């Protein structure tokens, strides 16, 4: 289950797609250890570029991503995970999907409604 | 329609999803110029990291990606494009989707059938 981590300094992009609805929920990055942990535990684990460490998605919110299927692409430098998302949304800003802004008339417009109150889940921390 | 190109040396990952089926077809990268061309022309245009230049998807195969909708995520450092894919497949290896390998029993297994003969489309060039 080799992947090519060389193109992005040890990372591959990981597309997270809702297994039931097909909606793309987020895009994260995995290093080799994060990918291995994802496979071993069955919960999506990323490498946080801002915090420079492994990040079990949902570790603070409880909104974990249960992995149903993992695919890779022709160059084996990206992965696609079909998941069951636990909780009301994957986005720390309170939305089902991080992709809640759509391009319309040359500007990003919020196209979704919040599915939960991020302050109640995350408090002062994200 | 600003995006944060700073995190990946001038690039953002672009997830390409079939607007009708919801299938994720490929993941590419766009620099600011590729993104602008994508918006202006309505055809997905990437920045090829291997060739170090703009790459109109389908320029050699004719398999262009007609953009139907563009979203960005909470951090505005990734984009999601819903597209109509012209032609039998987006993958230069002859598949509908570049994500044609699935993890099964600890190994990548080809999970799709080819939808066209890449040699007939690309000849010796990819």
Query: What pLDDT was estimated at residue A14?
Result: 98
Q: Per-residue pLDDT tens for B82-91?
A: 999 999 999 9
Q: How near does any CA of chain A get to the CA of B37, in Å?
A: 13
Q: Per-residue pLDDT tens for A49-91?
A: 999 999 999 998 999 999 999 999 999 999 999 999 999 999 9
Q: Give which of B98, B9, B66 is closest to A80, Cα–Cα.
A: B98
> What is the average pLDDT across B5-13?
96
Contact of A19 with chain B, judged by CB distance below 8 Å, is answered with no
Contact of B19 with chain A, judged by CB distance below 8 Å, is answered with no
Hunting for tokens 């990040």 — which residue is that?
A55
B83: exposed, middle or buried (Cβ count in 10 Å: 0-12, 13-18, 19+): buried
Chain B hits for A41, CB-CB cut-off 8 Å, are: none
Contact of B95 with chain A, judged by CB distance below 8 Å, is answered with yes
> What is the Cα–Cα distance from A76 to A91, expressed in whole angstroms?
26
Across the interface, of B17, B27, B111, the residue whose CB is closest to A73 is B27
Q: Which of A19, A28, A71 to mutate: most B Cβ within 10 Å?
A: A71
Query: What pLDDT was estimated at residue B126?
Result: 46
Chain A hits for B98, CB-CB cut-off 8 Å, are: 73-75, 78
Q: How near does any CA of chain B get to the CA of A66, in Å?
A: 15
Band of the pLDDT at B10, cuts 50, 70, 90? very high
> What is the average pLDDT across A91-114?
97
A73 and B15 within 8 Å at the Cβ level: the answer is no
Q: Is the per-residue pLDDT at B15 higher than 50? A: yes
> What is the average pLDDT across A94-99?
98
Contact of B106 with chain A, judged by CB distance below 8 Å, is answered with yes
Query: What pLDDT was estimated at residue A106?
Result: 94
Q: Is the per-residue pLDDT at A100 higher than 60? A: yes
B73 and A17 within 8 Å at the Cβ level: the answer is no
B71 and A100 within 8 Å at the Cβ level: the answer is yes
Would you call B16 helix, strand, or coil by DSSP? strand
ipTM value for the complex: 0.95
Both tokens assigned to A12: 């591959």
Q: Per-residue pLDDT tens for B59-93?
A: 989 999 999 999 999 999 999 999 999 999 999 99
Q: Is the per-residue pLDDT at A125 higher than 60? A: no
Hunting for tokens 């921390």 — which residue is that?
A125
Q: Is the per-residue pLDDT at B2 higher than 90? A: yes
Band of the pLDDT at A123, cuts 50, 70, 90? confident
| Alpha helices for A42-113 (secondary structure H) | none
> What is the Cα–Cα distance from A95 to A118, expressed in whole angstroms?
9
Contact of A120 with chain B, judged by CB distance below 8 Å, is answered with no
> What is the Cα–Cα distance from B98 to B111, expressed in whole angstroms?
11
Both tokens assigned to A109: 């417009």
Band of the pLDDT at A126, cuts 50, 70, 90? very low
> What is the Cα–Cα distance from B115 to B93, expressed in whole angstroms?
10
Query: What pLDDT was estimated at residue B111?
Result: 95
Query: What pLDDT was estimated at residue B124?
Result: 59
Q: Is the per-residue pLDDT at A22 higher than 80? A: yes
Cα R_g (chain B), whole angstroms: 15
Q: Give which of A123, A124, A121 is closest to A63, Cα–Cα.
A: A121
Q: In this structure, how many other beta carbons lie within 10 angstroms of the beta carbon of residue A93?
A: 15
A57: exposed, middle or buried (Cβ count in 10 Å: 0-12, 13-18, 19+): buried
Question: CB–CB of A83/B37 below 8 Å?
Answer: no
A98 and B13 within 8 Å at the Cβ level: the answer is no
Query: How many residues would you count in chain A?
Result: 126
Band of the pLDDT at A38, cuts 50, 70, 90? very high
> What is the Cα–Cα distance from B8 to A111, expressed in whole angstroms?
26
Band of the pLDDT at A1, cuts 50, 70, 90? confident
């Amino acid at each position: 289950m080799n992947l090519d981590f060389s193109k992005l300094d040890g990372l591959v992009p990981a597309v997270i797609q809702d297994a039931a609805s097909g909606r793309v929920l987020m895009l994260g990055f995995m290093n080799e250890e994060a990918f291995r942990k994802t496979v071993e535990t069955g919960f999506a684990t990323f490498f946080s570029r801002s915090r420079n460490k492994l990040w079990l998605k949902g570790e603070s919110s409880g909104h974990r991503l249960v992995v149903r299927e993992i695919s890779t692409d022709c160059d084996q430098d990206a992965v696609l995970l079909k998941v069951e998302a636990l909780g009301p949304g994957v986005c720390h800003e309170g939305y089902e999907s991080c992709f809640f802004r759509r391009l319309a008339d040359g500007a990003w417009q919020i196209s979704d409604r919040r599915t939960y109150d991020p302050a109640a889940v995350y408090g002062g921390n994200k």
